[in-house]
Homo-oligomer: A and B are copies of this chain.
């Protein structure tokens, strides 16, 4: 069973990759209104660029954290798969609050849009914590035992330091 986490990683990577790429579908020239030149239209789309970039890097950082957490798992279990499913549930949902934020960033209801956007990430952090707790507590999941790996993990947890 050397392929322990191959498929949960492949499936998760697929979901992260698709969610991060679907964000661009929200950037459309029609959102800029029809009056004015193309250049004015492209510039008027700045809330969409901003929301796209913000959500892109949130998903990217979530993916990096997910990458670091899942590599601690040697074999998957159903609880880990379900807890991972909750994290993916939150990741797939992100394009919707991103679209809401972009559409209302310059309007009168910006407070509601920002609250909805942030609430998504509060719930998402909760899902991520459930995943970490599931990995830590589940008796069927073993932590990589070798001293080198433990050292590597310690090195890894110093954020931004290179992993050897």
A6-41 CB mask vs B (1 if < 8 Å, else 0) is 111111011111111111110111000000011100
Number of copies of this chain in the oligomer?
Answer: 4
Contacting pair A19 B22 (CB below 8 A): no
Closest Cβ–Cβ distance, residue A106 to chain B (whole Å) = 13
How large, as a class, is the contact surface on chain A? 35 or more
- A10-B10, A152-B1 known; A112+B39 contact, CB < 8 A: yes
* Chain A positions near chain B (C-beta within 8 angstroms): 1, 3, 6-11, 13-25, 27-29, 37-39, 42, 52-53, 56-57, 60, 63-64, 67, 71, 75-79, 81-82, 85, 88-89, 92-93, 95-96, 99-100, 103-104, 109, 112-113, 116, 138-142, 149, 152, 159-164
